[in-house]
Amino acid sequence: MAHGKKYNDASKRFDRDRLHTPVEAVDLARNLASANFDETIELIVRLGVDPRKADQMIRGTVALPSGTGTDVRIAVFAQGEAATAAKEAGAEFVGAEDLAEQVEGGMMDFDIAIATPDMMPVVGKLGRVLGPRGLMPNPKTGTVTPDAAKAVGEFKGGKVEYRSDKNANIHVPIGKASFDSEALVANFNSVLDELIRVKPNSAKGRYVRRVGISSTMGPGIKVETAGFDAN
């Protein structure tokens, strides 16, 4: 894969084979972020699980203590008092069948979809639209809930979803390059603690295989895993 001049220049400014502490890694990622926008700092974790097995599929949410630095747009499928509360909590789009019709028609101007349980028969019909984009509400991530307003507040406040891909990798944004290192490390630690907490009993061998950090346009920085409960 070809990379731009800034990426290649950044790659030459540090030893890409060296394992860094989390503090060193976030400092490097911040310093190497040279785009003309506030780059997102992303954490990538390779886990020792088999995603093909249902009991080893890693998925859930974690609250980042320092927030994400990103304005999250939320669509809520609800009606009545739940819909009113969701609007008051700051959801950008709130509705029932009317919202479902908009989404089916191509309106995808949101980052998270939340639904109350009674709306799932309606939302379920949107599976072919929401599913491929990873937006289908799910009880495991707290996006199917009777308290939609609370969920809106949590996701607006820095709760993020994590999910293992087909290669057992987890990608989670942990903030912006403009964050200070302390804030990014706090978010980093929260994600790692959560991933270790949800380690499947059936996962064998080393659990946290590899950890890396990068900015949106920057190269990956390897993080030392020895300090984690990786066995």
> Is it the case that residue 90 has pLDDT exceeding 80?
yes
Concatenated DSSP letters for 127-195? Answer: HHHHGGGT----GGGT-B-S-HHHHHHHHHTTEEEEE--TTSEEEEEEEETTS-HHHHHHHHHHHHHHH
Whether 220 contacts 11, CB under 8 Å? no
Say whether pTM exceeds 0.85: no
In tens, the pLDDT along 158-212 reads: 999 999 999 999 999 999 999 999 999 999 999 999 999 999 999 888 999 999 9
Q: Which residues pair with 176 in a beta bridge?
A: 40
What domains are there in the chain, each with its CATH number? 5-68+159-223 (3.30.190.20), 74-156 (3.40.50.790)
Quote the distance between the C-alpha of residue 67 and its chain's center.
12
